[in-house]
Amino acid sequence: MRAERAVAVLVIAALAVACAAVLLPFFTALLSAALLAFTTWPAVPAIERWTKSPRPVTASLLVTITALFLIGPVALAAPSGASEVSALRHSFETWLASVPAAPAWLGAIPVFGGTLSDTWNAWAGDISQMGSFFRPYLGLAAERGLSLLLGVAGGLLQVFLTLFATFCFWLSGEALGTAITNLVLRVAGRHGPRVLAVATRAVRGTVFGILGTAVIQGFLTAAGLAIAGVPRPLLLGLVAAFLAVLPIGAPLVWIPAGLWLMSGGHGGAGAFLLIYGVIVVSGADHIIRPYFIARGARIPFVLVVFGALGGVLAFGVPGLVLGPVLLGLGFALLSEWAKTGSVVSA
């Protein structure tokens, strides 16, 4: 009897390894799709009731909306040709080569105005000093940007596979949800319902905290840039949205843009953009992110940061969200284990 059970265990283990090997190339797409379907699932029955349409139609509608949401901003923001990219690069290089002296009002700021003015003038006199100050951040941004450019083709394929898998999850969500629930209840025993509740709050809170903050910060940044008269506000707003999960984030976009305006003789517009960035864009980050994450699970911000960086290295662009979600879920379950003493059946 023991021999038969051992053989059965080996067969099941071998089958599991074989299945994992088959699905491994699509792991990122499947994980992204599962996360997207799980997070947006409450919208599926709501749209079904509102439109009185069958599930396949509802799933198709959601996939279309999601595709427009993912691809639309990129299509609108992307430069229209090589000449436009060259013009943007030339404008940036020209600004770096002709940084003016610090404006008088900067030195008049109480307490730290003199330090800011001296630093500005030092950078204007020797641009390499400014480069050495920002090099750690620019190096990280350049590395991420290069990774994004190199992964464009693979990213498009991942988007297609993710949308297809999400459609399938939306189509048969109840059956998959029941199977996962039964598995968790079997493993966690009497702790199962609470584990499911904690996991749900952690995943949705982290996703909304990251994506919600990124989308809103990108939109607010693009709006401020457009009002101030900075060219390509949609493109820069999209960049700000990608950077919003990093510790520096959107300020890497609106601070250089404000300084660029000031150096070009548009001091009022530049000052407006800097004040707008501090109050509106950064203010939104400090309000929206904690609100969403606190509604789900109180996940330390350091886990969000390292989750985003490690997620990009592990999964590519989708890792910006997958990484923090996985770390957040692990942290929530670990915290639950610390409180209850167990998250698995005894």
Q: Indicate the residue type of 143.
A: E
Which pair of structure tokens corresponds to residue 341? 């003493």
**Residue spans per domain, the chain:** 191-340
Q: For 46-113, give the DSSP string.
A: HHHHHHT--HHHHHHHHHHHHHHHHHHHHHHHS-SSHHHHHHHHHHHHHHHHT--PPPHHHHTSTTTH
Which pair of structure tokens corresponds to residue 150? 């190199």
Secondary structure (3-state) at 246: coil
pLDDT tens for residues 230-259? 887 887 888 888 788 776 678 888 888 888
pLDDT tens for residues 139-175? 455 455 545 544 444 556 777 888 888 898 888 878 8
pLDDT tens for residues 13-39? 888 888 888 888 888 888 888 888 888
The CA-CA-CA angle for residues 9, 12, 18, to 5°, reads: 140
- How much is the mean pLDDT over the chain? 74
> pTM of the full predicted structure?
0.63
